[in-house]
Structure 1
């Protein structure tokens, strides 16, 4: 654990989410030039780590690490725009200038709020920051939403957008295709590439005979000469002979030899024609066309396809388990296991991970369905250490995929879906921007509204509802049950609002209990004066109808739950 006087605090040792880079939890006080700034920052962050805001819990490590960044931004503004002004000399006009400065950077309202929030907390910590305290009460204590000029978000309202059905459908189908069909080819290509890299270590000098023998073998097998494909690092060379790969594959040399070697390769290309990629791994047929789903692999295409495969595994796990991004990123070797039900009839797939939010790193289990188990099995065969989600980098071969990088990978996969036969349509004329948070929100909404068969019949949400919501998957601490319950409440409210609009149009209910419902609607209409030609407050209308939503369930009453296959 870091000590108070250390120049660098590594907060990551206190436990950080697997979807964040370790560097995000390093606090380097040496990055602040002035010693007064360093000591003030040290005292403030110590106060944040050890002080509960009101009756709430201590702030998370991620929150404190983010505040370090926002604190540095404020200090940088004071140093560059106000000549290194001390905190105890800051005035309200200086804070107003900082607000204008944040807006000039084009930040979102939420980002501006975070920038200003650290200033408010500096004032709260004034008695504990003895080196240089912020004496002035920022904006006289006004709520930051009013200072910024945005509408406050209603409590418990989930603003994460749901992925539209016409987007999630082909996206899940493409992910299933990658896990069930393409994964075998990609893993075989990785094995071939690893063996090739190992074989090149023993190559010494040049051998024209080996090159001739390799080119003759291509002709005998009816294959073309390997050329650089569009996945190559030098895209402008696409279609040119893959000189380095040919020399290594044939054992003729470890790199481009030039001269007679290049001339011999060029002459073979004229005779045999090109073959994009050139690796030997066979390509499986696409289930829709019966044709190979891609050209042969090239060395550069292997890590590219591995990245797409890892992203497809993420889609299936995040969407079909209800786990948070941080919990998915904490999956490690051996996380998947099976258990039989009490009657030994049903075999349930389970995964074990770290419950990060609210759980403070506790281990929990989720019950999942078979596609999730298949995705985990594929991940365990991809290059990794203990964490299943990682990415190769130059200095550190294995590195966790951060949330921002995964968002980038998700949108690249969405764009790639068209190339493999699962086009994802645009929404309102624009490609849908996928984020990691959207999957949990979307599956909670689908389970609450039960639109069965949305994903082309390949995944049935009724099955997910039984596995994920009715007591089998996730824990109460994971919060997924609460999210589904909240979505169900919104669905009921939407039904009641629609029924109320019908009532205003003159439609009366003939069902048992309909008179009581109509009387309740009449009371609401009279109290709000909701009559033609008058505009009522929508929020107030919804608030009044919420009471009815708790007891009124509009729809067809099924005679028995056993017809759903759920048991009595």
Structure 2
């Protein structure tokens, strides 16, 4: 594989993979897996080190890893950590590299299976390895600084503490870590042994979504506010068209007067689509025009609809902020203002908070807040 190098040249990522060089690269790969798992799982260093082979499981139908909780607990209970799919791959790769009969993170091929390592040394060795060979590999330089395993968990804990409304924090800070649990359920290999499960699931989801659409239709018919923004305007227009069509059917005797099922049947046949969310709703149909989430995005083959993990609710014409969303966004604005009031706040942190506050204010402006 060829890479672009810092000096502007292009060439292979490694000069030669003789046994010694291969061992070094395998060690660096093991170290990268350890850092990645520690950074994105919020597991303690001891818990990462105690992960055994075959520990990736499903816990309440969600990918998780089993590990031993050793700190301040003499009973050494097993704890489940929910993880994202990239962390799953990192653990599985570490297992394949590990020469230890049980541990996932241990010595790599070329060393004794019982040889262990220091967690601090792993991090520093990885930084040194990347920086030493970046002229060949083309990787970006990693700033030289003191890094410990605890700092990864501390960083994630600070994000959780400093960003009330964790869904907003995830959307703004960790988009690359968001996965959808059902993203691959329609692939042939997955559906083949149990295609009926996917059909039943789709039917159940569709019925629940339609029930919510009927609730919005009823609220709009009563003159209540159902949402704010251009997407909400289109929704109201669609609902008005349904009521007008139903009135025409009744006026011509083609529908029974007083039967709400006329409107509901028309709602089922309308092409208007709503994807409900906890922070906003999306009114995008299959037409990608105007969808901010699809701008400059690599759309997976066969994917239809929005890329929800790239949602920009404050800037997209398809976004609806409903009355139920307002308390969340209002609380987020209050929290951000409180954080900004700290006179000791670093400049770069203040800039980040200002950016996020601007997005929240844009969202609330749609609702006249």
Q: Same fold, TM exceeding 0.5? A: no
TM-score, length-normalised on structure 1? 0.29
Over alpha carbons, which structure has the higher Rg?
1
TM-score, length-normalised on structure 2? 0.42
